[in-house]
Amino acid sequence: MQLLALEYPQVFNAKAELILNDALQQMIYESVLHQADRPSRSYYLRFVKLLIETLERHDQAINETILEDFTTSYSAQAPAKEYIYKSYCITDDKWITLKNEAVYNLVGMTTWGAAYLLSDFILANKQLFQGHSVLELGAGTGLVGVVLNQLKPDIKQVVLTDYAPVVLNNLIDNMNINGIQVNDLVSNNTNDQSSKKEDMSVVEFDWEADFDQCDPFVKQCEVIVGADIVYEPSLCRYLVSVLNQLLQHGNNRVAYIASTIRNESTFATFQQVLDEHQLLVTDITHTSSYLTPSPFEYDRTQIVLFQIQLRPTH
């Protein structure tokens, strides 16, 4: 309040009390409420309600312009928003922002709970990723990718993959929003290694396609991660097949898959197909460390974290 008094002495009285007079209210309206990029409608309505309550408490009148604008906004139907932006403080001085679909329509356009848990796991276990290239299956809005970017320069390469064009475009947008330069291999569909200047790439990856034809960057990653990619029974067989081939493509490879169990039958199918491929699966949900306190708000109770590897040969 002292800083505000120094900056705007005209709105304080001799006792250093804020004067909510008509001039100050008009300044609030013009500087904040009437701007094209003013706060969200719900925040705006709460703010003006608080202002009105404060004025009534001090027996002062509300500015007519604010009152008229508030009345119009309150009675009007809120316009539909196509996207919303979610921000998180993942370290003391590092904020990240992700664009999500405002109304759920497509799986990859929403940041799901398992991505939060996987991100907490990565931030608390950086040593598991240091010196490696990391591949994310079903990167979605890109939270895990942005978190992996925080491990640079100790991480060699990050390859983010998804399939739907709208999801891939949003994924690239979210990298740009967070100031992360990527090799856009969606728009520039090339396998020319010399054209890949950045250490993070966004790649289209169809699990049902011929694995031999996928981008070489996908195959070279030693660590595979995925969050909330077990949601459709028909895709489980393709997902596990891809995991199996990726793990076989090099030595000492490992996958960390975080899943929210929404449907017991779907998750049972996933586990069954893992068994069929004779993969070594370890549930590390309760034995792993996670970033504490978490920068994310989510319910962990239905989320599991699997470590998946090839079985050792004797």
Range with lowest mean pLDDT among 20-29, 36-45, 79-88: 36-45
Query: In which order are the strands placed within the sheet that holds 157-162?
Result: 183-184, 200-204, 157-162, 133-137, 223-227, 254-260, 303-310, 279-283
Specify whether 209 is located in the same domain as 71: no
Could you tell me which residue, 2 or 69, shows the higher pLDDT?
69
Query: What pLDDT is stored for residue 70 in this prediction?
Result: 74
Q: Tell me: the pLDDT tens digits for 114-144?
A: 999 999 999 999 999 999 999 999 999 999 9
Specify whether 132 is located in the same domain as 189: yes
Number of neighbouring beta carbons within 10 Å of residue 245: 14
Query: What pLDDT is stored for residue 110 in this prediction?
Result: 92
Task: Report DSSP state, residue 30.
Answer: I
Specify whether 44 is located in the same domain as 104: no
Judged against a pLDDT cut of 60, whether residue 79 lies above it is answered with no
Residue 41 contacts residue 81 (beta carbons within 8 Å): no
Query: What pLDDT is stored for residue 189 in this prediction?
Result: 46
* Of 47, 75, 103, the domain-final residue: 75
Report strand pairing: 223-227 vs 133-137.
parallel
Rounded to two decimals, what is the model's pTM?
A: 0.74
Query: What pLDDT is stored for residue 312 in this prediction?
Result: 85
Specify whether 147 is located in the same domain as 281: yes
Give me the percent of the chain exceeding a pLDDT of 70: 83
Task: Report DSSP state, residue 39.
Answer: P
Q: Tell me: the pLDDT tens digits for 218-238?
A: 999 999 999 999 988 889 999
- Cα distances (Å, whole numbers) of residue 94 to 17, 30, 89, 156, 288: 35, 31, 6, 21, 24
Specify whether 71 is located in the same domain as 102: no
With CA atoms as reference, report the closest residue to 250 among 220, 280, 274.
220
Rounded-to-integer distance, Cα 4 and Cα 129, Å = 46
Query: What pLDDT is stored for residue 82 in this prediction?
Result: 83
Query: What pLDDT is stored for residue 192 in this prediction?
Result: 43
The count of structural domains within the chain is: 2
Query: What pLDDT is stored for residue 80 in this prediction?
Result: 61
Specify whether 191 is located in the same domain as 270: yes
Rounded-to-integer distance, Cα 259 and Cα 238, Å = 16
Query: What pLDDT is stored for residue 28 in this prediction?
Result: 74
Domain that holds residue 14: 2-75
Mean pLDDT of 179-208: 76
Most confident range (mean pLDDT) of 16-30, 91-105, 197-211, 268-282 is 268-282
173 pLDDT band, cuts 50/70/90, is very high
Specify whether 193 is located in the same domain as 261: yes
Query: What pLDDT is stored for residue 193 in this prediction?
Result: 47
Q: Tell me: the pLDDT tens digits for 251-303?
A: 899 999 999 998 899 999 999 999 999 999 999 999 999 999 999 999 999 99
Specify whether 61 is located in the same domain as 162: no
Those residues whose C-beta lies under 8 Å from the C-beta of residue 77, and which sit 6 or more positions away, are none
* Of 75, 109, 136, the domain-final residue: 75
Rounded-to-integer distance, Cα 186 and Cα 205, Å = 10
Q: Tell me: the pLDDT tens digits for 87-105?
A: 999 887 889 999 998 877 7
Specify whether 93 is located in the same domain as 40: no
With CA atoms as reference, report the closest residue to 106 among 175, 162, 166, 161.
166
Judged against a pLDDT cut of 90, whether residue 32 lies above it is answered with no
Q: Tell me: the pLDDT tens digits for 41-52?
A: 677 777 778 777
Specify whether 275 is located in the same domain as 300: yes
Rounded-to-integer distance, Cα 200 and Cα 216, Å = 14
Rounded-to-integer distance, Cα 282 and Cα 276, Å = 15
Specify whether 203 is located in the same domain as 276: yes
6 pLDDT band, cuts 50/70/90, is low
Could you tell me which residue, 78 or 44, shows the higher pLDDT?
44
Specify whether 217 is located in the same domain as 290: yes
Query: What pLDDT is stored for residue 194 in this prediction?
Result: 46
Judged against a pLDDT cut of 50, whether residue 155 lies above it is answered with yes
* Of 54, 75, 96, the domain-final residue: 75
